[in-house]
Every structure is written in structure tokens, then in C-alpha cells.
Amino acid sequence: MKTSTSLALLTDLYQLTMAYGYWKLGRAEREAVFHLFFRKKPFAGGYAVVAGLGPALEFVRDFRFDDSDVEYLATLTGNDRAPLFEAGFLDYLHNLRLNVDIDAMLEGTVAFAQEPLLRVKGPMLQCQILETALLNIVNFQTLIATKAARVCAAAGSDPVLEFGLRRAQGIDGGLTASRAAYLGGCAATSNVLAGKTYGIPVKGTHAHSWVMSFDDELDAFEGYASAMPNNCVFLVDTYDTLEGVRNAVKVGQRLREQGHEMIGIRLDSGDLAYLSIEARKILDAGGFPKAAIVASNDLDENIIESLKVQGAKIAVWGVGTKLVTAYDQPALGGVYKLGAMKDDRGEWQPKVKLSEQVAKTTIPGVLQVRRFEKRNAERNTEGGDQLVGDMIYDLTRGIDSREMIVDIKDSNRRKRIPEGTVGHDLLVPVMQQGKLMGPFADGTETLEVARTRASQELARLHPTVRRLLNPHEFPVGIDVGLHEQRDAMIREMRWDFTEQS
């Protein structure tokens, strides 16, 4: 059997058993709509930064079951030891070419709980079989991009370098984390493969082992300066940190005599606030006021914010483990739910999933998100238009004439869309009949474009929504007409269950 390069089996088995059931019962081609969304904002924050759409679309575009995939599936058996899938179904999978439509929030868009990030429309079997992979790709990258945005917010105008490869969750985890972190605002990565793959700037200098391999620290710094005179950031805390700064100054002066300039020093342990303040004094006194102090050592947004408050003289932040592993929240918790199906007459029928937990009761319909903003004569202090709120509505119903949103968790909280606002829909067509379209077809949707979008979108949020601790709740709700339809569906279903019992 040849080695497979296909990713079609990047899925849970139950996706394939359901696909088999749809095929077996003649329901595979019935048109359906699924939505990918998350129920709770990550890191107890005020927002999420959408990421992963580009790789997700590439996955869908290239989706194929190759020979080795179907050969493997043919070996699976049920509890009676008979084949799990019949040969006709495996032939169907082998010949399957996806022709789904996808509308999505572009990468870098700021999103909130319950809002569809992707809407997938097409044959039921095809939509279903994409669930696991889409969640795998979008969940992780959105989580890391959001974490990066928070870290960069804490750092302010200082650049943040992503240093997490060695602690990342495997090869793919390290590569995609670097991509998402850059999208979320990091200035560069230490991950050279990510640099090659995605065009991300790469940064790095030497480790403690370099210093330890020499008889003394001064010799180590001189050796590195001789080998790499144009890349000298000296790691100064192998032995005595402040003495290491003094040795860096000595070597920096010799570099200057040779026509080169020391970039700076790195602190990787100890009291970073105190040591950076003292290091700054030594660097300035030695004639290096522009030499940057880079700090690392298990940093995150909360530690960076604390160090800033303490007056630390750190100019560049190297953030690794707690960024690429989303240390305080290991998963986004995104889900992928059926919103509507076409009936025998070709009309959309909304579908709702009930739950004892309000947050887990889904929103029925073919959903879209409209973001409303009020254009003021005087621009606000953030320099952008005032965002009013987001409305989740059903495309088959349109927006109710009352123009009101109802809070998803508390129906007594309602907000009328004020006069003088304009709105734009956030889900835009990115794939039609399995083919890339719009900015993905012509190549204009690059990682740099997405990164710029994220920066601009975050800047337009009110500072109270962006703050790290106890952020303000951005107004997001369901169109009032859709809310009333949803309530009626829930009441009818619960009445049916009561009658049956």
C-alpha cells in the first residue's frame, strides 16, 4: 500500500458513519447549511480574532479520498466483524469532489460568541464530513491569534516576538501557532520553517549553551560578535546578569570600532523589572542608549502588564510557551451545527438543537452577521467609526422592520439599532461549488492583509472591550423576528415532548 498524502481521514469516525447513513438512506445530496461558531469568548476576554480561514479553504479545495484512504476504510469492521462500510460507499468516497459554498468572516475580523465564523452550504454528506477538520483548523488558530492580540495589547507599541516552537504541541501545532500569532500582532517568530512557509520575519540570537561552551562569558560574546557581527543580541543571564550586561557593553564597543552596532541584550530569568532598569543604566552609561533590552521567561499578557506598571525598561518581548499553547485556555470550544435543510419542495426549513443550557440551544436558519456602526460628524477618540453592535439574522427571513437585537443569554436585554447607522455583513463568499473565489481566488487575501485587518479591527473596538480584565460586553444579539421564531420552535418542540411523555 502506498503512503497517503491525503488529509481526508483527518476526521472523527462518526462523521464517516453518518456520511454512510446519509448515502445509504438516499439523503446524501439533500442541501443543508452548517455554521461554525464558539459559545464563549476565550481567556475571559472581550473578543476573539478570527484565524485559520486560509488553511481551511485550502483543505476543502484539495479534499480527496485517495487509494490508500479507501483501502484503509475497507479494513474497518463493526461489532459483528463484518465490514463497517460497503464497497459501493467506498467507491462513492473515492470519486467524491466537494462542491460546497462557504461564506466566512475574513481572517483578522473581530468576532464574538455565537456568531457564525463560517457558513457551509451544500449536500448534507459533504457539509457533515468537513466538520472535524474545519473545527480543528479554525479553533486553534483563532485561539492563538486572540492570545497574541492580548499579549500585543499588553506590550503596547513594543514589538512581541513569538518564541514558542520548542514548547508547541507538535510540528503542525508549532507551525500554525506561528502563523496565527503573527496574524494576531506578533512582529516576528523564531520558527524558521514558519518564516519560509508564511513569509513571517524571523528573529533569534544565541542560547546559554553558547556562553557555557567558552571558558568565560566575555570570550563567548566576542566569539559570537566575530561570527555574527550584524546579529548581536547578547544573552546576559548565564552567570551574573548585570556583569553580563557589562561584558556586552565591552564587546559592543569593539563592534562599533569595526563598523557594526550591538542590537541589544536579552534577559531570560530573574527579576525582570529590576534587572531591566539596572541594565538600562549600564547600557546608557556605556554609550548604548539605543540598544534594546529583550525579555523572555514564561511571559504572558498579565506578566507584561505588571512589568509595565513596575517601570521595566524592556523594549522587546519574547513570548513562547504561554502564547503557542494558549496556556490558560487550551481550547476555543468552537462547534459546528446544522442550521437549516431544504425540504422536498426545495424550501429551507430551519433546524434548532435544544439544550438545558441556554448557551447550547442553537440559532436556526441560514445565518448572517451584520455589524452596525454609527458615523459621527466628530470622530471618536479611537479615530474610527463608533461600533453599535452585531445582529445575527436569517437570510431567508431578512431583518425585521423593528431593527432590534435580543441578547442571546437574556431575552429581556434588547437593543434597538439607532437611526443614522449603517451595517455591513461579515460573512462574505469565499468558496462556490468547491472553488475559491473573491480575494482567495485572485491571491489578494494574504497573511499580511489579514494581519493588517486584525490591527484595524482591534483599534475600532472601545478600550473597555479590549481591556484584559473584566472587559465590557460588546452588544451582540439575534434579530428580534428570528428570536421570536426560535422561541416558537422551542416551545413547540418542548410541548411535543411533554405530550409524548
Query: pLDDT tens for residues 428-442?
Result: 999 999 999 999 999
Mean pLDDT of 71-87: 97
The residues near 363 (Cβ < 8 Å, ≥ 6 apart) are 35, 114, 339, 352, 392, 408, 478, 482, 486
Cell of 190: 523564531
Domains in the chain: boundaries:
17-63+99-143+343-500, 145-324
The one-letter amino acid code at 272 reads L
What pLDDT score was predicted for residue 369?
98
- The alpha-helical segments, DSSP class H, found in 348-479 are 447-460, 463-466
Poorest-pLDDT segment among 48-52, 194-198, 219-223, 329-333: 329-333
Give the Cα separation of 80 and 496 in Å (integer).
Answer: 37
Mean pLDDT of 3-8: 76
Query: pLDDT tens for residues 39-66?
Result: 999 999 999 999 999 999 999 999 999 9
Q: What is the CATH number of domain 145-324?
A: 3.20.20.70
Query: pLDDT tens for residues 443-475?
Result: 999 999 999 999 999 999 999 999 999 999 999
What pLDDT score was predicted for residue 501?
53
Query: pLDDT tens for residues 81-131?
Result: 999 999 999 999 999 999 999 999 999 999 999 999 999 999 999 999 999
Question: CB of 376 within 8 A of CB of 402?
Answer: no
Single out the residue of 361, 470, 372 nearest to residue 409, CA to CA: 361
| pTM (2 d.p.) | 0.95
Say if residue 368's pLDDT is above 90. Answer: yes
Task: Pick one of 3.20.140.10, 3.30.70.60, 3.30.365.10, 3.40.50.300 as the CATH number of 17-63+99-143+343-500.
Answer: 3.20.140.10
Say if residue 499's pLDDT is above 80. Answer: no
Cell of 195: 518564516
What pLDDT score was predicted for residue 198?
97
The one-letter amino acid code at 13 reads L
Say if residue 379's pLDDT is above 80. Answer: no
Query: pLDDT tens for residues 271-309?
Result: 999 999 999 999 999 999 999 999 999 999 999 999 999
The one-letter amino acid code at 15 reads Q
Give the Cα separation of 386 and 446 in Å (integer).
Answer: 27
What pLDDT score was predicted for residue 104?
98
Query: pLDDT tens for residues 380-424?
Result: 444 445 899 999 999 999 999 999 999 998 999 999 999 889 999
The residues near 88 (Cβ < 8 Å, ≥ 6 apart) are none
Query: pLDDT tens for residues 158-196?
Result: 999 999 999 999 999 999 999 999 999 999 999 999 999
User: Is 145-324 the same fold as 17-63+99-143+343-500?
Assistant: no
Mean pLDDT of 212-216: 97
Say if residue 377's pLDDT is above 80. Answer: no
What pLDDT score was predicted for residue 500?
60
Q: What's the pLDDT band for 2 if we cut at 50, 70, 90?
A: very low
CA distances to 8, 17, 68, 70, 115 from 4, rounded to whole Å, are 10, 21, 6, 11, 36
Question: CB of 143 within 8 A of CB of 329?
Answer: yes
What pLDDT score was predicted for residue 376?
63
**High-pLDDT (> 90) share of the chain, %:** 92
Task: Tell me phi and psi for residue 84, to 5 degrees.
Answer: -70, -35
Average pLDDT, the chain: 95
Task: Tell me phi and psi for residue 210, to 5 degrees.
Answer: -60, -50
